[in-house]
Structure 1
Amino acid sequence: MMPDLGKYADAVLSAYGASLVLLALLVLLTLRRGRRARAALEAVESREKKDG
């Protein structure tokens, strides 16, 4: 149940929406950066194995 926000409903709901969008963006960027870091680490480790 949503409380009655009165004349502030638009501002509050848009702030919630913006927060959710920004949070989702941060999660996606973090996952992407993690994939890149993992790939870079695997490349370094595979070079290390080849070099002995």
Structure 2
Amino acid sequence: MSLGPYASFIAASYLVVLVVVMLLIAWIVIDYRTQKRRLTELESKGITRRSQRRTTD
């Protein structure tokens, strides 16, 4: 497979896309852990989700 004179541009483009995708994955993982920690802290203080509240009619 010959990429011709544009081989360096194509390789650099793939590298940039790979780095961006890896950064997005890392960002999502870090944000997920942060949100889980915040939710655990709130639940330990007694604050619950609306869907878990009991309805008293």
TM-score (norm 2): 0.78
| Bigger RCO (CA 8 Å, 6+ sep) | 1
CA distance in 1, matches of 2:31, 2:14: 26
- Which consecutive residues of structure 1, in runs of 5 or more, have no partner in the other structure? none
- Which consecutive residues of structure 2, in runs of 5 or more, have no partner in the other structure? 48-57
The aligned length equals: 47
Larger radius of gyration, structure 1 or 2?
2
2:35 to 34, 37, 47: 37
Percentage identity across aligned positions?
Answer: 28
CA distance in 2, matches of 1:48, 1:4: 63
Instruction: Tell me which amino acid in the other structure corresponds to 1:16.
Output: Y
TM-score (norm 1): 0.85
Please identify runs of 4+ aligned residues in structure 1 that moved more than 4 A.
Answer: none
Say which structure is richer in helix. Answer: 1
Cα-Cα RMSD: 1.1
